[in-house]
Amino acid sequence: MPELVPVLSKNDIDSLVTKVAHRISTDYRNHDLILIGVLKGAFVFLSDLVRSLDIPVQIDFIRVFSYGSDMSSSGEIHLKKDIEVDIKDKDVLIVEDIVDTGLTLKYLIDYLRSYHPKTIKVCVFIDKHQRRETDIAIDYSCHDVDKGFLVGYGLDYNENYRYLSGIYHLKL
C-alpha cells in the first residue's frame, strides 16, 4: 500500500497562501495583472490565491503535456491548451503547483513571451530543488523542499490524490 506522509496541513497551506497573496497584491497594485494557471495541478492553488488577493486580476489557463515516467517529465514539452485572453502589454504571473526540473516553466515562459506581455513572472506553491535543470527565476514560492514526490492540493500521482486538502509525501 502507498504511504502518505503529511508535509503541510490545510492550516499550514492557508497561512502560506495568505503570505504570498499579500506580496503579490503589494507588488501588482495598480497593474493589469493576468494570472495564468497551469492545468491541471494549479487549479486548487490558483483558486485559493485569487480569493486571498486584494487587487483585481484576470484569470486564464494553459495546459502542457510531456512524455515521461509517472514521477518525472521527459523535458519534451508540448502545448495542449493555449491561453484565451490577450496578454499583450499586460503583466503576467504564471501560477504552477510545483517546479521540479524547471523545464515546464522554462517552456511556458518562452512560449508566453511570444505574445509580448509587458512582464512575465512565476509563482509556484512548491519549489523542489534537487533536480533543477534550468536557471529560471522563481519569483514567488510558498514552500521549499529538497526532493520527494508530493501529492494533494492539486498535485497528483497518475491523476490520484489531487482532491486532498493537505500536501503529502507519497511513498510507494
Q: Which residues bind ligand IMP (CB under 6 A)?
A: 41, 73, 96-104, 128, 149-151, 155
Minimum distance of ligand IMP from residue 55's CB (angstroms): 25
The cell numbers describing 111, all together, are: 512560449
Place of cell 487549479: 43
144 is catalytic: no
Q: In what order do the strands lie in the sheet with 167-171?
A: 3-8, 167-171, 150-151
User: Residue 31 or residue 40: which is nearer to Mg ion going by CB?
Assistant: 40
| Chosen from ligand IMP, Mg ion, none, partner binding at 100 (C-beta under 5 to 8 Å by type) | ligand IMP
| Chosen from ligand IMP, Mg ion, none, partner binding at 141 (C-beta under 5 to 8 Å by type) | none
Minimum distance of ligand IMP from residue 31's CB (angstroms): 26
Work out the angle at residue 153's Cα, subtended by the Cα atoms of residues 60 and 108, and round it to the nearest 5 degrees: 40
Paired sense of beta strands 73-81 and 91-99, if any:
unpaired
Does position 152 bind Mg ion by CB under 5 A? no
- The continuous run of DSSP H or E covering 138 comes out as none
- Which residue, among 150, 156, 158, has the nearest Cα to 8 in the 3D structure? 150
User: Residue 55 or residue 75: which is nearer to ligand IMP going by CB?
Assistant: 75
Q: What is the DSSP letter of 112?
A: H
Check 91, 97, 100, 127 and give the catalytic one.
100
Work out the angle at residue 153's Cα, subtended by the Cα atoms of residues 102 and 20, and round it to the nearest 5 degrees: 70
User: Residue 43 or residue 115: which is nearer to Mg ion going by CB?
Assistant: 43
Please identify, among the stretches 37-45, 62-70, 135-143, 156-164, the one whose residues bind Mg ion according to the rule CB under 5 A. Answer: 37-45
Question: Where does this chain bind Mg ion (CB under 5 A)?
Answer: 41, 97
Residues noted as catalytic: 100
